[in-house]
Amino acid sequence: RLGEKVFLELWVKVREGWRNRLTILREMGIYPGG
């Protein structure tokens, strides 16, 4: 159903240096320049 409120609990794990590592960006589905 649309229009109903939901409660979302989200845990996020951050990997050090992820912005500067192309392999990590590819693992996450993020490709620089696109």
Residue 33 scores a pLDDT above 60: yes
Range of the domain at 28: 1-34
10 Å Cβ neighbour count for 23? 8
Place of tokens 């649309």: 2
Residue 34 has pLDDT above 60, yes or no: no
Residue pLDDT, tens place only, 10-32: 998 887 887 778 888 888 887 76
Band of the pLDDT at 9, cuts 50, 70, 90? very high
Overall number of domains in the chain: 1
DSSP string, 1-34: --S------------TTGGG-HHHHHHTT--TT-
**Whether pTM exceeds 0.75:** no
